[in-house]
Amino acid sequence: MICDKVRPHHLARKAILYVRQSSTHQVLHNRESSALQYAMQDRLTALGWSEIEVIDDDLGRSAAGGVQRAGFERMVAEVCLGKVGAVCAREVSHFARNSRDWQQLIEMCRVVDTGRSGNHLCAEAR
């Protein structure tokens, strides 16, 4: 099923799948979560993306406090440059735990018309 919120101009740009777990313990012992997150590539493909970049640099890094997350920062930079048609994560809490980071990503997606989602890509894509 193709979502009516995914437009040709979204598909002309790459999609980013952001994969993250908060701790090394989760990465090592909660492998089902990782598998489900990586499987979101199939959803993006089904929606029509041929170029999907998986950013998993932040596996094992908390989104709380002042922890630097190079993957998240790279994703935001790519969105700001208008190179991204959609950002996706299995759960939106994987993007950011604090309002500032979350709002920055959402606002940049709105400005450059990038679709964004957590659990279901079409739930929030615009």
E-strand ranges in 1-126 read 14-18, 52-55, 84-88, 115-117
**34 catalytic residue (yes or no):** no
Task: Give the residue among 60, 66, 102, 74 at the shortest CA–CA distance from 17.
Answer: 74
- Cβ contact 61:20 at 8 Å: yes
- Among the listed residues 22, 50, 93, 117, the single catalytic one is 22
Which residues are the active-site residues? 22
